[in-house]
Amino acid sequence: MSIVLGCLLGVGLLLATSPFVWPRASAGAGVGTGRKPGTLDQLRVRLVLAGFGAVPPTAFLTVCILLGAAAAALAQAILGVVALAIAAGLVGIILPPVIVSVRARAKRRANRAVWPDVVDHLVSAVRSGLALPDSVSALAQTGPTETRDAFADFASEHRATGNFASCVDRLKERLADPVADRILETLRMAREVGGSDLTLVLRSLATYLREETAIRAEVEARQSWVTNAARLGVAAPWIVLLLLASRPEASLAYNSPMGSTVIVLGLAVSVVAYRIMLALGRLPEDERWFQ
């Protein structure tokens, strides 16, 4: 029986990590290919936004697997319930990506409020007569604090290479934000084809961004109770289950086939219900079309 459960755990770990290890889309997919970026590309963007840009996606996935194995072993040693050990292993695998996604969304939400100020600084620099590369480089000193490091890297790289297009690509990769993509692609087009309406376009974009930020903030504040209810509704039954499983007689009951079935079904229902609640309470995020 233990061999069968071990094989099932191995298959579950393989299925959980297979979308990351063998993504359907190629790693270099972008605008020109007509395909969305692969799963590893999306994970890399989340790591950058979460502040772990130096961590390779493969190393991060390895840490997830090791953490899942450690959580499963610890749960088995403490509770002695095989089904709960498997559930703990799956939670250990899923927990780091969830934390990274939460940090990435928080970073993107914080950046959403500063992009209108970035656009205003760009408009002021362009109207003062600065060239576009110098206008972007000036944001390292005059721009919002949250984005100064990225623009400082752009300034140093542009001084070293003088290639505006490649520096913009690196800056987009560093910022990893759809709004930044739109701003930088507007600047790239203005530099390549020219035009006298750049300041008008940037001002219109800043107005749109401020209105969108205000609407999103109001809607998210009203829907926050949905996500809080989802977290509470998922956590409460499992806390009770852990308290019950600490008793020897309950541990024997949950180690039976019927007890394992109850835990597996409860885990499936919890995951599905939690995802549905999050889908109802979360606003759609902008796609990055200019990667």
DSSP 181-241: HHHHHHHHHHHHH--S-HHHHHHHHHHHHHHHHHHHHHHHHHHHHHHHHHHHHHHHHHHHH
Rounded average pLDDT per 10-residue block, the chain, 291 residues? 58 59 42 51 79 84 91 86 85 88 82 86 87 89 86 91 89 85 87 77 86 82 77 84 81 82 86 79 68 62
DSSP 247-271: SHHHHHHHTSHHHHHHHHHHHHHHH
- How many helices (H) and strands (E) are present in the chain, helices listed first? 12, 0
Q: What is the pLDDT of residue 110?
A: 79
Q: What is the pLDDT of residue 17?
A: 57
Q: What is the pLDDT of residue 188?
A: 87
Q: Report yes or no: 285 and 107 within 8 Å, Cβ to Cβ.
A: no
Q: What is the pLDDT of residue 156?
A: 92
Q: Report yes or no: 233 and 271 within 8 Å, Cβ to Cβ.
A: no
Q: Output the six-digit token pair for 258.
A: 């019927």
78, with CB counted inside 10 A (0-12, 13-18, 19+), is middle
- Largest distance between two CA atoms of the chain: 79
| CA proximity to 190, closest of 161, 182, 114, 118 | 182
Q: What is the pLDDT of residue 33?
A: 39
| CA proximity to 83, closest of 167, 5, 178 | 5
Q: Output the six-digit token pair for 178.
A: 């759809």
C-alpha count within 13 angstroms, C-beta hemisphere, residue 32: 1
Q: What is the pLDDT of residue 32?
A: 38
